[in-house]
């Protein structure tokens, strides 16, 4: 008998080790590195390592200077103004010229800093997430194992093993769905790890009365560190009072002992709390400010928002628990839920695949069976087990309630409450198995039911993981395209399509990369595949039109640009592109109509103003044309370099010599004329003569005289008397310090190139 028990114990350990290793291995394989590494590939430049660098040189701010442009902003917290700095310092906190982290300090203190000190290297955020997740998951697995061995020894080992596996995949999917092991996931996984360690220490305090004070000291310290990583876990600290209330209610301990138990429960966490308050006061002059209000956020101005509010509760409750799953007809069959309606002040929500109760993990309904765990037990057994399950329930409720009051929803926040809930779910399964042990038929029926729910949860976790990885590769490809690295982007788009070939967006992204690498045939093919899946995608029609341009298929281009503006009438870029093709095919009036529509939609659309100006020039509407040229150059002065010499010459002449003073602009005339002269190597007498007129308008008469003399010398060999007389007339004016006045003659030219992806 004794040998049999030892064999069962060894087998249970092996099974648990294998299951835990499998779960951690899946997460380590599936986790993606931080998105920021594409822009900052050095590990030492990750946010937590920048914080560690700051600590090592005696400062509380990160070891990175605030960008000078950010410092000069009138309101650095305005997303519209700080957008250029988001990739570099986005989601940091900015206060009095320095950059800080609002993310909890615990990961830096317990992992990143010690690792750097011991190894001389810096730890990646992906590795940190895997470490913290593994610590939290192993703690939960250990808790379930001791619960099983102590209270449910009659249950077969495969039941807790499957429970642990499901629990691990459910929690791991939260990290995977977040797409990246970034600074956010570091803080969330660290809070998860230390809250689970605190719960494990509470188990020890409830089950080992002689070492209760030591266990409570550890629980209090662990939960303090959890709050130091995730301040949203604050109210979960009430779990520390569960052993205290138990000791006081049962009144089995002397009064002094009970006070010691209370001191052990609240002492360490209070010291940690005071340390956090001092840390905050030294950084932000406010002990309760973690830096959230000063963050540089791309969505809203946090300094003036309400972080927690009852009006956010119902939309968050729906997001995390109730929203039904959406399905697609192609692998991996799951798709994200459309954004839910937002209450006032609500920032938004990350990608969701449905609420955990109705969609992802209906297994959690088995939490209702948790009270069966103490059915038919002795009063002493019931008391201790009930107190532990109460602590887990309080941890779930406080975490879920706090997160549902928050102004932002994201699946990674599920680590604040889902672990405790899943722990109770598995205990509920234990309770069902135990209660039905004497009813084999009912036990088989019920077991089939919860096994189906368990398998469903595992399958959903795996499908969501596949879809999330596809999305991760797609976003990486998009980032690289936007960074001007389309060749690198192609492999990420191809990986995304390998995982999910039926996504119109993924084909569309790959088409954009092919277009920028001048592979029109491949770009056309991917656009066509995108439109085969989603025929009403205006962007895909627009981009297919641009891809066709490289093959010279004009009629097809017009068809797709027209379809784009039919689907999306306010699509300024498509109107501009359609106008370009119409202009180049001689349909000037139609082109003018579309260019006008483009600038109506986007008044600061420089290319459309330029193209409208060229079309109006061709139509002989000179004054209107010049107004749009001037507006284009005000918005984008570099557009002058895209004009051919004739256009620059005519514009410069008009700006220098028009009788209407309101239309003259000497500085701009000089810029355009100089550019035209450079392009013609200062060998065209008419263009050099325009430069002379521009100099005169700008009051630079010595340069005007010199340029007019050069123009005369260049024109002399031609024997064109009218031109020579004209130049001499201009020269006389310049010598009298008088600019020349005359209107230009319009000359047709080409439109600005079709707008790129």
Residue 456's CB is within 10 A of a number of other CB atoms, namely 16
Distance of CA 609 to CAs 552, 573, 616, 619, Å? Answer: 25, 12, 10, 15
Q: Residue 642: its pLDDT value, please?
A: 63
Query: Tokens 């103003």 appear where?
Result: 609
Is residue 748 pLDDT above 50, yes or no? no
Residue 664 has pLDDT above 90, yes or no: no
pLDDT-derived band at 746, boundaries 50, 70, 90:
very low
171-182: average pLDDT: 69
Tokens at residue 554, please?
């004009």
Partnered with residue 409 across adjacent β-strands are 349
Lowest-confidence region among 20-24, 31-35, 277-281, 347-351: 31-35
DSSP conformation letters of 334-397: EEPPPPPP--TT--EE---S--IIIII-GGGGGGGGGGGGGTT--HHHHHHHHHHHHHHHHHHH
Q: Which two structure tokens, joined as six digits, stand for 476?
A: 């990486």
Asked if the 533-735 domain carries CATH number 1.25.40.10, the reply is yes
Q: Report the alpha-carbon distance of residue 743 to residue 728 in Å, rounded.
A: 18
To the nearest 10°, the Cα dihedral for 184, 189, 194, 196? 140
**What is the C-alpha to C-alpha distance for residues 448 and 560, in angstroms, rounded to an integer?**
54
Q: Which two tokens stand for residue 413?
A: 């926040």
- For 285-307, what is the mean pLDDT? 88
Closest CA to 23 of 468, 461, 430: 461
Q: Regarding predicted confidence, which is higher, 176 or 142?
A: 142
Identify the band that residue 254 occupies on the pLDDT scale cut at 50, 70 and 90. low
pLDDT of residue 757: 29
Whether pLDDT at 178 is above 60: no
**Per-residue confidence (pLDDT) for residue 38, from 0 to 100:** 67
The residues facing 308 across adjacent strands are 406
Nearest to 538 by CA among 563, 559, 508, 504: 563
* Cα angle: 564, vertex 568, 573; to 5 degrees: 65
d(CA 559, CA 541): 9
pLDDT at position 204, please?
A: 96
For the chain, what is the mean pLDDT? 89
The mean per-residue pLDDT over the stretch 679-700 comes to: 93
Distance CA 294, CA 83 (A): 15
pLDDT at 569: 96
61 vs 747 pLDDT, higher one: 61
SS3 assignment, position 409? strand
Q: Which residue has the higher pLDDT, 638 or 610?
A: 610
How far, in Å, CA of 226 to CA of 110, rounded? 11
Average pLDDT of 310-315? 95
Indicate whether 697 pLDDT > 50. Answer: yes
Q: Is 120 a residue whose pLDDT tops 80?
A: yes
Strand pairing report for 408-409 and 98-100: unpaired
- Of 158-167, 640-649, 686-695, 728-737, give the lowest mean pLDDT range: 640-649
- The better pLDDT of the pair 302, 164 is held by 164
Q: Which of 302, 276, 298, 223 minimizes the C-alpha distance to 60?
A: 276
Q: Kindly report which listed range (366-380, 567-581, 647-661, 664-678) carries the lowest average pLDDT score.
A: 647-661
Q: How confident is the model at residue 298 (pLDDT cuts 50, 70, 90)?
A: confident
Summarised one tens digit per residue, pLDDT across range 24-49 is 988 888 777 766 676 677 899 999 99
Using one digit for the tens of pLDDT, what is the confidence trace for 432-479? Answer: 999 998 899 999 999 999 999 888 888 888 888 888 888 888 988 998
Amino acid 368: pLDDT: 93
pLDDT at 8 over 80: no
Closest by CA to 158, choosing from 9, 354, 330, 16, is 16
* pLDDT band at 688; cut points 50, 70, 90: very high
Instruction: Compare 327 and 193 and report the one with higher pLDDT.
Output: 193
pLDDT of residue 137: 95
Does residue 221 carry a pLDDT above 60?
Answer: yes
Annotated domain spans of the chain = 2-444, 533-735
Overall average pLDDT of the 217-246 stretch: 96
| Element containing residue 273 per DSSP (H, E) | helix 255-284
Non-local (6+) Cβ contacts of 701 within 8 A are 695, 734, 735, 737
The answer to whether 100 and 291 have CB atoms below 8 angstroms apart is yes
- CA 197: distance to chain centroid? 30
The closest of 218, 197, 229 to 109, measured between CA atoms, is 229
- Give the confidence band of 744 by pLDDT, cuts at 50, 70, 90: very low
Asked whether residue 751 carries a pLDDT value surpassing 70, the answer given is no
Please choose, from the candidates 516, 508, 468, 467, the residue with its C-alpha nearest in 3D space to the C-alpha of residue 488.
Answer: 516
Q: What is the rounded CA–CA span in Å between residue 229 and residue 102?
A: 10
Q: What mean pLDDT comes out for the span 291-320?
A: 89
Q: What is the pLDDT of residue 127?
A: 93
Return the pLDDT at 747.
Answer: 39
Average pLDDT over residues 417-443: 93
- Whether residue 207 contacts residue 218, with contact meaning beta carbons closer than 8 Å, is answered with no
- The more confident residue out of 251 and 250 is 250
Structure-model confidence comparison of residues 598 and 551, the more confident one: 598
pTM of the model: 0.79
Confidence of residue 361 (pLDDT cuts 50, 70, 90): confident
Token pair for 578: 């359609």
Q: Is the pLDDT of residue 145 over 80?
A: yes
**Degrees to nearest 5, angle at CA 291 with 287 and 296:** 165
The C-alpha R_g of the chain, in whole angstroms, comes to 35
Q: Is the pLDDT of residue 623 over 70?
A: yes
């Amino acid at each position: 008998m004794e040998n049999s028990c030892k064999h069962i114990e060894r087998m249970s350990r092996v099974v648990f080790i294998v299951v835990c290793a499998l779960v951690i291995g899946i997460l380590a394989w599936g986790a993606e590195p931080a998105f920021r590494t594409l822009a900052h590939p050095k590990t030492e430049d990750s946010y937590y390592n920048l914080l560690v660098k700051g600590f090592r040189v005696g400062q509380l701010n990160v070891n990175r200077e605030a960008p000078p442009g950010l410092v000069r902003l009138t309101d650095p917290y305005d997303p519209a103004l700080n957008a250029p700095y988001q990739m570099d310092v986005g989601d940091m906190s900015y206060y009095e010229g320095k950059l800080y982290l609002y993310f909890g300090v615990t990961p830096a203190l317990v992992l990143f800093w010690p690792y750097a000190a011991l190894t001389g290297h810096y730890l990646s955020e992906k590795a940190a997430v895997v470490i913290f997740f593994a610590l939290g998951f192993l703690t939960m697995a250990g808790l379930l194992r001791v619960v099983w061995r102590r209270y449910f020894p009659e249950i077969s080992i495969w039941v807790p093993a499957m429970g642990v596996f499901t629990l691990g995949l459910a929690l791991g999917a939260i990290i995977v769905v977040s797409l990246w092991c970034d600074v956010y996931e570091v803080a969330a996984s660290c809070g998860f790890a230390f809250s689970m360690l605190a719960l494990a220490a509470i188990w020890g305090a409830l089950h080992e009365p002689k070492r209760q004070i030591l266990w409570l000291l550890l629980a209090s310290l662990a939960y303090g560190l959890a709050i130091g990583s995730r301040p949203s876990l604050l109210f979960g600290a009430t779990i520390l009072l569960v052993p205290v209330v138990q000791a006081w209610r049962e009144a089995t301990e002397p009064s002094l002992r009970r006070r010691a138990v209370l001191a052990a429960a609240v002492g360490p966490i209070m010291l940690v709390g005071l340390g956090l308050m001092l840390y905050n006061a030294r950084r932000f002059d406010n002990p309760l400010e973690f830096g959230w209000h000063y963050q540089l956020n791309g969505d809203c101005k946090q300094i003036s928002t309400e972080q927690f509010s009852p009006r956010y509760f119902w939309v968050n409750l729906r997001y995390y628990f109730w929203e039904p799953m959406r399905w697609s007809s192609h692998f991996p069959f799951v798709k994200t839920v459309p954004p839910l309606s937002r209450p006032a002040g609500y920032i938004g929500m990350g990608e969701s695949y449905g609420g955990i109760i109705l969609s992802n993990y209906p297994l959690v309904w088995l939490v209702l069976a948790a009270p069966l765990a103490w059915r038919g037990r002795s009063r002493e057994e019931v008391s201790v087990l009930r107190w532990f399950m109460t602590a887990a329930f309080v941890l779930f409720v406080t975490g879920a309630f706090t997160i549902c009051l928050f102004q932002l929803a994201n699946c990674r926040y599920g680590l604040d409450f889902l672990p405790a809930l899943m722990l109770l779910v598995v205990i509920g399964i234990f309770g069902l198995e135990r209660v039905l042990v004497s009813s084999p038929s009912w036990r088989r029926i019920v077991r089939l039911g919860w096994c189906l729910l368990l398998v469903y949860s595992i399958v959903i976790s795996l499908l969501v993981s596949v879809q999330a990885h596809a999305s991760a590769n797609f976003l990486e490809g998009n980032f690289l395209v936007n960074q001007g690295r389309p060749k690198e982007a192609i492999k990420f788009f191809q990986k995304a399509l390998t995982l999910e070939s039926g996504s119109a967006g993924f084909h569309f992204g790959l088409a954009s990369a092919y277009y920028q690498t001048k592979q029109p045939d491949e770009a056309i093919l991917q656009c066509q595949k995108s439109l085969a899946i989603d025929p009403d995608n205006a962007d895909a029609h627009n981009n297919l039109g641009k891809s066709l341009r490289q093959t010279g298929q004009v009629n097809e281009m017009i068809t797709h640009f027209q379809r784009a503006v039919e689907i999306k009438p306010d699509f300024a870029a498509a109107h501009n592109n359609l106008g370009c093709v119409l202009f180049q095919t001689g349909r000037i009036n139609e082109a003018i109509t579309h260019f006008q529509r483009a600038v109506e939609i986007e008044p600061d659309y420089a290319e459309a103003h330029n193209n409208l100006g060229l079309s109006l020039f061709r139509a002989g509407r000179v004054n209107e044309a010049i107004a749009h040229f001037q507006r284009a150059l005000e918005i984008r002065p570099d557009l002058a370099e895209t004009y051919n010499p004739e256009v620059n010459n005519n514009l410069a002449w008009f700006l220098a010599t028009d009788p209407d003073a309101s239309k003259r602009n000497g500085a701009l005339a000089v810029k355009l004329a100089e550019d035209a002269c450079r392009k013609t190597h200062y060998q065209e007498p008419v263009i050099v003569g325009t430069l002379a007129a521009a100099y005169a308008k700008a009051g630079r008469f010595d340069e005007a005289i010199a340029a007019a003399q050069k123009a005369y010398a260049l024109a002399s060999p031609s024997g064109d008397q009218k031109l020579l007389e004209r130049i001499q007339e201009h020269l006389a004016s310049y010598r009298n310090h008088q600019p020349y006045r005359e209107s230009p003659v319009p000359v047709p030219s080409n439109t600005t190139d079709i707008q790129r992806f």
